[in-house]
């Protein structure tokens, strides 16, 4: 297992031969990829392909061994996350790598105001902030919540799903992370809100210059959002490359099938393409 210090000018995040095992089951089988500063990487794959667990593994948000065993290396600016102790890990979570999840309505604690929950993130990672309320109002404004001076006193159930997801994004951004991991952030939202959230993420990414790791099974989102794409299938990376190239000329049969399933305006789609799993081998 390589544990030597890499050159300081390396990528922001380097995943090297990451393996995730749940008991006998290998969920992720030796994947490697890099994420440069300011880059947007989309990880595409079907349910169970290992994309979400890979994202959670980036800050070891998985059950401790023996339930789940991690192999390989995840280097964030040269430090191997898999070798960190618990306290340093807590400093990486949220501060260096922040997450947004799929289900905004259940990602917020129903008993506290959204302001209090963003304030919790500030207290955890930015003790130097003197006026937390001003900072809460600032990030809420940044993610496009109107009237943030009033809204930060709202409880999660008083907000719509799209606004809840904006609050989740605000919670992630307030710690000024280097990497934002968005785990299917739009799956639970309806289509127009999806577009708004994606537009917001694109806008924020440019404004703040952070790296984004977008996990999705929707190639429609990839287009115009991601710089590079990784396609995962059965715990392995089957295709990787610049977004445009992968979208235009997919190589792997699974990618081809997935792209063929995107509905297009003006075309009548007869049947969705299916793939014969037996021919793809394991």
Question: What is the contact surface with another protein in residues (CB under 8 A)?
Answer: 59, 61, 90-95, 98-99, 101, 103, 106-113, 120-121, 124-125, 155, 157-158, 168, 171, 175
**Distances 192 to 1, 51, 61, 81, 188 between C-alpha atoms, Å:** 46, 25, 31, 37, 12
Whether 235 contacts 229, CB under 8 Å: no
Nearest C-alpha neighbor of 179 from the set 216, 212, 208, 153 = 212
Least distance (Å) between residue 38 CB and another protein = 22
What's the min distance (Å) between Cβ of 56 and another protein?
8
Complex with another protein: residue 90 or 202, whichever CB lies closer: 90
Nearer to another protein, 46 or 103 (CB): 103
79/84 Cα distance (integer angstroms): 8
Contacts of 156 (CB under 8 A, 6+ apart): 105, 108, 109, 110, 114, 164, 167
- Closest to another protein by CB, 125 vs 205, is 125
Q: Which helix (H) or strand (E) holds 228?
A: strand 228-233
- For another protein, give the closer residue by CB, 59 or 186: 59
CB of 172 to another protein, least distance (A): 8
Instruction: State in angstroms the smallest separation of the CB of 133 from another protein.
Output: 17
């Amino acid at each position: 297992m390589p544990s030597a210090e890499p050159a300081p000018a390396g990528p922001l995040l380097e995943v090297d031969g990451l393996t995730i095992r749940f008991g006998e089951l290998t969920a992720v089988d030796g994947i490697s990829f890099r994420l440069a500063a300011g880059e947007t990487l989309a990880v595409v794959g079907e349910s169970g392909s290992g994309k979400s667990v890979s994202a959670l593994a980036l800050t070891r948000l998985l059950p401790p061994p023996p339930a789940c065993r991690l192999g390989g290396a995840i280097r964030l600016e040269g430090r191997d996350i898999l070798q960190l102790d618990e306290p340093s890990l807590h400093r990486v979570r949220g501060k260096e790598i922040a997450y947004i999840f799929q289900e905004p309505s259940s990602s917020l604690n129903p008993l506290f105001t959204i302001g209090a929950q963003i304030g919790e993130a500030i207290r955890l990672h930015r003790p130097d902030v003197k006026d937390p309320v001003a900072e809460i109002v600032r990030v809420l404004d940044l993610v496009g919540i109107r009237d943030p001076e009033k809204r930060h006193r709202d409880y999660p159930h008083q907000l719509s799903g799209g606004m809840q997801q904006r609050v989740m994004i605000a919670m992630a951004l307030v710690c000024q992370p280097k990497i934002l991991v968005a785990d299917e952030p739009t799956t639970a939202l309806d289509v127009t809100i999806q577009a708004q959230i994606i537009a917001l993420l694109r806008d924020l990414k440019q404004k703040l210059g952070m790296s984004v790791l977008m996990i999705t099974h929707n190639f429609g989102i990839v287009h115009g959002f991601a710089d590079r794409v990784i396609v995962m299938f059965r715990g392995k990376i089957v295709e990787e490359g610049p977004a445009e190239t992968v979208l235009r000329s997919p190589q792997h049969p699974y990618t081809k099938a997935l792209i063929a399933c995107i509905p297009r305006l003006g075309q009548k789609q007869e049947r969705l393409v299916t793939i014969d799993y037996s021919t793809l081998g394991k």
